[in-house]
Chain A
Amino acid sequence: DIVMTQSPLSLPVTPGEPASISCRSSQSLLHSNGFNYLDWYVQKPGQSPQLLFYLGSKRASGVPDRFSISGSGTDFTLKITRVETEDVGIYYCMQGLQTPRTFGGGTKVDIK
């Protein structure tokens, strides 16, 4: 199984400041079609998870452009240019390249 490792575990942030979350996979997620089979999800307090990005860098509908993705292969980063209070939640990466799909352990983003 592909192991997904996220860091940090917890990320206290100041509104207006940038934030970044790292996700590493134990195997390359780059498919021969040129896409990385890596998704990002956020679970806001009391809500179901929701999709942020899929296939590495494809933005899901309604995701603000203050969110961006970088990386390929085994190393990926989710960046927020200026954190807003509504961005509080737990962020997960997930690989969709192989079955079983596997999630990272999550990064909790909260306000300092």
Chain B
Amino acid sequence: QVQLVESGGGLVKPGESLRLSCAASGFTFSDHYMSWIRQAPGKGLEWVSYIDGSGTATFYADSVKGRFTISRDNAKNSLSLQMDSLRADDTGIYYCAKDRQPSSYLGLHVWGQGTTVTVSS
């Protein structure tokens, strides 16, 4: 079945970097945009970034633009989020989600279980 498994979260200090990964299975990975969404402790959902199926088009929330980089490896069915210059307000659970296809919008129809990022000195 369709599955997304995030990894790479952890505790880092402000200014440090972290790389999150999302392993996808059960669907044709390259056919779908993929998104990252995060949730600060006790707060709502915030869309962070998404990438098209080929990896050539990327989009970011203003809050992470210039610090985070989304990428994908279609040969390995893997999505990544490189997070640099981390700040305390980047703390939260990071989810990857299966997103639209180029010709059909499907919502964020599959989510992973999330990986926790804590930025603290």
Contact = CB atoms under 8 A, between A and B. Distances in A.
A37 B107 CA distance: 9
- Quick one: which of B62, B95, B105, B113 has the most chain A CB within 10 A? B105
B107 A55 contact: yes
A73 interface: no
A103 B47 contact: yes
Nearest to B98: A51
B111 A100 contact: no
Q: Closest 3 CB pairs between A and B? A: A54-B107, A101-B47, A39-B107
23 contacts: A41-B45, A41-B108, A48-B95, A48-B111, A48-B112, A50-B111, A51-B109, A54-B106, A54-B109, A60-B109, A94-B47, A94-B108, A96-B105, A99-B50, A100-B47, A101-B35, A102-B47, A103-B44, A103-B46, A104-B44, A105-B44, A106-B44, A106-B45
